[in-house]
Homo-oligomer: A and B are copies of this chain.
Amino acid sequence: MALIVQKYGGSSVANPERIKNVAARVTKYRSQGDQIVVVVSAMSGVTDNLIKLAKEIMPVPSEREMDMLLATGEQTTIALTAIALHALGVDAISLTGAQAGIVTDGVHTKAKIQNITPKQIHALLNAGHVVIVAGFQGQTAEGQITTLGRGGSDLTAIALAAALHADLCQIYTDVDGVYTADPRIVTDARKLKEISYDEMLELASLGAKVMQSRSVEFAKKFGVVFEVRSSLNDNPGTIVKEETESMEEVVIRGVSLDKNQAKVTLVAVPDQPGVASRVFKALADAVINVDMIVQNVSHGSGSPATDLSFTVDKPELVKASRVIETLKKDIGYREAISDEKIAKLSIVGVGMRSHSGVAAKMFETLATEGINIEMISTSEIKISVVIELAKGEQAMKAVHKAFLGP
């Protein structure tokens, strides 16, 4: 008998028919004698509707009240899911985040889980119930309702799997698992049997929209092995777990392309201490998320100056440019150039640590395709380059073929 935590996202519970499908899948596992904890999101569309209602009343509503409001979305789904299990003759009981013992800090709309008291869930499981827990929500020690922010339901599932010492944690979604590249672009992309936390983290930050980084980080921290798989079929998914030696035999795990970034370059920034910190503090103060940052000391004539480039999410380019403009006098750069027509191509794999020449091979592949590299950024297990947007897919296919091709 295993203890399994299953998480179903908004599209898997979008309507009564799909909720019945979820119940049927849960029932299948239950009938094998396993103990099941089900974590569900709000039915897709529900959260957006609630946000719309609130914004009709006030453009920037209170975060505490937004948590009160949005928590109803998951509460609706847990009740309906429990009812769907009852309809199949399965004992099931729903719990809000608070009832499930999920205690968070008090940072409304993006609360962090502080601890989970799994006593109640264990008791209900031992009494023969399937336990349905509302994802995305918790309660402070003082009894305030909180929500966990984007990707919160995944986090609930992984945190529960850790607290309950679950044997298995399954994240059901509308994709089959993690692929070597987006199969809609790269036709010979393959589904991965397994991937390490670190690789998954790099992919998560690279536009492979399967999961938010924070859930993967949490899983890594607590050693929760989980499987990403589809709620639409019975195919095995991708297992995400601690790196093993055999993983290093594969040079790279996947290729990803992010077309949602824009580049800003400050030309001829005085090469003085504190300049970069002023730029990125100002951007952080404006709540603009910066991804890649590249700076090269320039050795031109006259006073030492450098070019500083960074990328932001495309929708935030205008806001970022405005922030940069306000710094012009203070910092004294020559000009700021922004470019929306870029793509970020990345390769990820723990194997690149022990295989030399990975970067060289990537750059050579791009050169052969006649694609110019505008920025380069590397981590221990990732290489990202910024290239022209129009050549993004061509580059992705070529790089995938070079490293992962059949």
Binding site for B on A (CB under 8 A): 16, 19-20, 50, 53-54, 56-58, 61-62, 64-66, 68-69, 71-72, 75-76, 78-80, 82-84, 86-87, 93-94, 96, 99, 143, 145
Contact = CB atoms under 8 A, between A and B. Distances in A.
A-side interface mostly: helix
A84 B54 CA distance: 8
Contacts of A54: 79-80, 83
A308 B35 CA distance: 57
Contacts of A99: 143
A76 B68 CA distance: 7
7 contacts: A16-B53, A16-B56, A53-B76, A57-B83, A58-B86, A68-B82, A75-B75
Nearest to A62: B86
Copy tally for this chain in the complex stands at: 2
Contacts of A86: 58, 61-62, 65
Given A53-B16, A54-B83, A72 B61 contact: no
A53 B80 contact: yes
A68 B75 contact: yes
Nearest to A145: B96
A76 B65 contact: no
A65 B83 contact: yes
A39 to B, nearest CB: 15
A122 to B, nearest CB: 16
Given A16-B53, A69-B76, 13 more contacts: A20-B57, A57-B83, A57-B84, A58-B84, A61-B86, A62-B82, A65-B80, A65-B83, A65-B94, A68-B79, A68-B94, A69-B80, A72-B76
A166 to B, nearest CB: 23
Nearest to A75: B72
Contacts of A69: 75-76, 79-80, 83
Contacts of A72: 72, 75-76
A53 B76 CA distance: 10
A79 B56 contact: no
Contact of A75 (B56, B58, B71): B71
B50 A76 contact: yes
Contacts of A61: 83, 86
A65 B50 contact: no
5 nearest CB pairs, A to B: A69-B79, A72-B72, A68-B79, A58-B87, A16-B56
Given A56-B16, A57-B19, A57-B20, A65 B87 contact: no
A397 to B, nearest CB: 45
A56 B83 CA distance: 10
Contact of A68 (B20, B57, B78, B145): B78
A60 to B, nearest CB: 9
A59 to B, nearest CB: 9
A209 B56 CA distance: 32
Contacts of A82: 62, 65, 68
Nearest to A43: B53
A84 B145 CA distance: 19
B75 A62 contact: no
A75 B83 CA distance: 20
A202 to B, nearest CB: 38
Nearest to A54: B83
Contacts of A71: 75
